[in-house]
Amino acid sequence: MITENSENKKGTAKRKTAFSSLKAQEKRARQDVIVDAAQRVFATKPFNKVSIRDVAREAGISHASIYRYFPDQQALFVEAFLRGAKEIVQVLDDIVRNSEQGDIEKVTEEFVTYLIENDQYFRMMTHFMLDGSLSAEMVEKLNAMERLLFDEFDKLFRKMTGEGEGEVRLLSHAFFAALNGVLITFRNYPGRNREEVIRHMRRIAGIIANKFKA
């Protein structure tokens, strides 16, 4: 009887675990649908003009439903940004890992090109950097992603210089700031069409890459 009760308890525990796992998967799937919708809206509308209602309309759900999965607009937008940031981190990782010397020119080109072609992420990144109203939880999520990006730059500079952790992290910060400076300074360059602006930004970024390489 004791053995039978024990087996019943184990069976019940397994079913509860399986049910909890299914619930977690369902929640994640619904969150993904909402983030997918947010990204589609960001691609057609300036980030700071997007509302929860816009995302809900794109996802085909009520705006109230979004709050079941994201506590506020801030949390949803951070999650959408993190997905885009993971993409560029993966791209950079592939380049650095498969290059003997790190290939700073290719890293620079891909980083700048990604943010040019996905302007919504660049706008979100600068917004989050300047916004002092983010919750501690959201700040930590962004910091964690930023560290992953800097880790890729660290790998690049270690391959290039052979320097230790402290020195390459300073180089990574300087490199990141320089490339972001190009995008901030010239993305709305007056008197130039988009093709000219992009060409100019890539040229300046290439100069930065060569200076760091030297």
Which residues contact residue 36 at a Cβ distance below 8 angstroms, ignoring those fewer than 6 apart?
Answer: 59
Q: How many domains does the chain have?
A: 2
Same domain, 141 and 81: yes
Domain range spanning residue 54?
1-70
Domain identity same for 14 and 115: no
Radius of gyration (Cα) for the chain, nearest Å? 22
CATH number, residue 1: 1.10.10.60
Decide which of 55, 70, 85 is a domain's last residue: 70
Per-residue pLDDT of the chain (214 residues; tens, 9 = 90+): 555 666 666 666 565 566 566 666 788 888 999 999 998 888 888 777 889 999 999 999 998 999 999 988 888 989 989 998 999 999 999 999 998 888 999 999 999 999 999 888 888 888 888 877 788 888 899 999 999 999 999 999 999 988 766 689 999 999 999 999 999 999 889 999 999 999 999 999 999 999 999 8
Cβ atoms within 10 Å, residue 166: 7
Provide the pLDDT for residue 26: 81
Same domain, 129 and 64: no
Which helix H or strand E contains 88, and what residues bound it? helix 73-97
pTM: 0.81
105 and 160 housed in the same domain: yes
Q: Which of 118, 25, 79, 45 is nearest to 53 (CA)?
A: 45
CATH number of the structural domain spanning residue 94: 1.10.357.10
- Same structural domain for residues 126 and 171? yes
Determine which helix (DSSP H) or strand (DSSP E) holds 33, and give its type and residue range: helix 2-42
56 and 39 assigned to the same domain: yes
Domain end marker among 70, 93, 119: 70
The two tokens of residue 188 are 């709305």
Residues near 40 by Cβ (< 8 Å), separated by ≥ 6?
A: 58
Which of 70, 91, 116 marks a domain boundary?
Answer: 70
210 and 143 in a common domain: yes
